[in-house]
Amino acid sequence: MSEYVIEMNHIRKEFPGIVANDDITLQLKKGEIHALLGENGAGKSTLMSVLFGLYQPEAGEIKKDGKVVKIDNPNDATALGIGMVHQHFKLIDVFTVLDNIILGAETTGALGFLKKKEAREKVIALSEKYGLKVDVDAKVEDITVGRQQRVEILKMLYRDNDILIFDEPTAVLTPQEIDELMEIMRGFAKEGKSILFITHKLNEIMAVSDRVTVLRKGKYVGTVNTKDTNKQELSNMMVGRPVQLEIHKKPAEPKETVLKVEGLTVPSKIHKNNAVNNVSFEVHAGEILCIAGIDGNGQTELIYGITGLEKASAGKITLLGHDISNASIRKRAMTGMSHIPEDRHKHGLVLGYTLEQNLVLQKYREPRFQNHGFIKFDEVRKYSEKLIKDFDVRSGQGPITIARSMSGGNQQKAIIARELDRDEPLLVAVQPTRGLDVGAIEHIHAQIVNERDKGHAVLLVSLELDEVLGLSDRILVIYEGEIVGEVDPKQTTPEELGLYMSGAKRQGKEAE
């Protein structure tokens, strides 16, 4: 019996124009949590897709318990006990939790009728055993993203998988859910299950993993024991140069009010109450104001209301002295607002368009890019090549790459390039570093601070406490659609922030 349950030796996987995995070796011990660390585009997902049978490698071998195996498709992987929770869940929204779990592994009785009762008992037993609480009869579309992830985990357990791959599982979770997930993962490891954990978040690696394998630009950098390393060393390995983990910035010099929000109320699309209820605040030139809070407390709707993506039912919004409460989206943008949207696939990009077409999404009507309604293609090309260079947006074919085929991190960089280059007095940035790696985060944080130092106002929405505390000059905490507190990042602690975010503490209430 080999020491390793899974060995991937000298794996090479090519795509037209690039080598996504170049001679990569990954060895997974039984009962360990093994983190796979790398920047966007380092080849982590490709390597896992090879293990899961989605891609065939050009070279290299995969061993299970010391024996060479061939994994042609996900069914082979499942047969070998390999399960995967994908970054984007593979669930059917209108099916119940139970139906989703048994889908593809249904047990049937005579005449092919489903034996749902047995399945249900097994699922409930599993969920109790591992503390994966979830309502098996709820429809997937009605449960939170965190619960959906549990469904994905239960799917693996239901299939008796003992090698569990988690592809960036924390990207969509709240801090509390992340803690719970870590606990669940530790439980699995204790049981003897082996876990491969793809991430680029160093905190999580330090918290939960036993060993770390680092990839960089498709190449193997090394494998280290977590207890023998630290965050700085790991990020240097990952990026290939020393990385600034701390955000360095001068003290803010707030000037005149740029954005004034008074009594803004936005109805919710999910429930009957208002998603945003009577919110008022001001953002000044030369400061970064952060709206902190746990996901789903009205941040999205607040930004929709300010940018015009959704109609506010009450309240007044003033941008640079102009009342834009009822203005169209374009009017608001032209008054002086750029917007890095929360959902890059829904709002940020036209995925079917090329990179250059996306880069002029906010500017195509300017005389610089059109003449009597005819697009000036060479101007668009010149402009996009400049942005691609300035912001290091990487893609297979440069300006003519279809946005859909770009990696998530580079898609985000493209959006940020487009919005920052507009140079508007107000920048609304919603989770600007979501899904990005350390190197890119460093770059974007520097850009946002730079915006502030230019005298622009920045309204930031972030779920990452590190980002909230490190980047902002002033923090407003939102809880259930209301601003429950304003704190100074220099004086507050993550614990205090956590109390506000969970609704346990509230400013003004005590004073009343």
Partner 1 sequence: MPRLEPGTGKTKWYKTDGAVAVYSALISILIGMAVGAIIVVVVGLLKSNITPAGIWEGVRLVFLGVFSTGRNGSALSFGFNAVNLGNMLFRAVPLIMTGLSVAVAFKTGLFNIGAAGQYLMGTMGTLTVGLWLGWAGVPTFVAWLCAFLAGVILGGLWGAIPGLFKAFLNINEVITCIMTNWIAANLVTWWFDAHEAFKNSAEGGKVGYIIPLKNVGVVTPKMLMNVIFPGSQANGGFWIAVIIAIAMWVMMTKTTFGYELRACGSNRHAAKYAGINDKKNIILSMAIAGCLAAAGASLYYLSGNTEFYWSTYQKLPAEGFNGIPVALLAANHPIGVIFSGIFMSMLNISGLQLKYLTAYNEYISDIIIAVIVYLSAFSMLFKTVLSKKIRKGTGGNVNDEPAPAENKGAAGAAVSQAAATAEAVSGPAESSLEEAIDKIGESPDIVSAETEEGGEK
Q: Where are the beta strands (DSSP E) in 237-313?
A: 257-267, 274-284, 288-292
Provide the CA 283 distance to its chain's centre, in angstroms: 26
Q: Which range in 35-43, 164-172, 311-319, 485-493 contacts partner 1 by CB under 8 A? A: 35-43
86 binds partner 1 (CB under 8 A): yes
Interface pick for partner 1 out of 126, 144, 364, 470 (rule CB under 8 A): 364
Stretch that binds partner 1, among 225-233, 237-245, 268-276, 402-410 (CB under 8 A): 402-410
The answer to whether 206 contacts partner 1 (rule: CB under 8 A) is no
Class of residue 222 by CB neighbours under 10 A (exposed 0-12, middle 13-18, buried 19+) = exposed
Paired tokens of 373: 């309604």
Contacts to partner 1 from residues 452-491, by CB under 8 A:
none
Locus of tokens 């969920």: 127
- Applying CB under 8 A, among 34, 200, 339, 434 the residue interacting with partner 1 is 339
Give residue for tokens 């669930």. Answer: 91
**Which of 305, 399, 425, 485 touches partner 1 by CB under 8 A?**
399
Q: Which of 405, 480, 502, 506 binds partner 1 (CB under 8 A)?
A: 405
Nearer to partner 1, 54 or 138 (CB): 54
Residue count of the chain: 512
> Judged by CB under 8 A, does residue 45 bind partner 1?
yes
Nearer to partner 1, 396 or 470 (CB): 396
DSSP per-residue string spanning 78-119: HHTTEEEE-SS----TTSBHHHHHHTTS--B-GGG-B-HHHH
Q: Which of residues 306-335 bind partner 1 (CB under 8 A)?
A: 307, 309, 328-331, 333-334
Residue 64 Cβ, how far from partner 1 at the closest point, in Å?
23
| Cross-strand partners of 197 | 35, 166
Q: Which residue has the tokens 């709206």?
A: 291
Please answer whether residues 432 and 448 qualify as being in contact, where contact means their C-beta atoms are separated by less than 8 angstroms. yes
Instruction: Retrieve residue 134's tokens.
Output: 């979830």
Cα 369–344–216 angle (5° rounding)? 105
* CB of 127 vs partner 1, minimal distance in Å: 26
Binding region for partner 1 (CB under 8 A): 15-20, 22, 40-41, 43, 45-46, 49, 54-55, 86, 88, 90, 217-218, 307, 309, 328-331, 333-334, 339, 341, 346-353, 357, 361-362, 364-365, 370, 373-375, 385, 394-399, 401-402, 404-408, 410
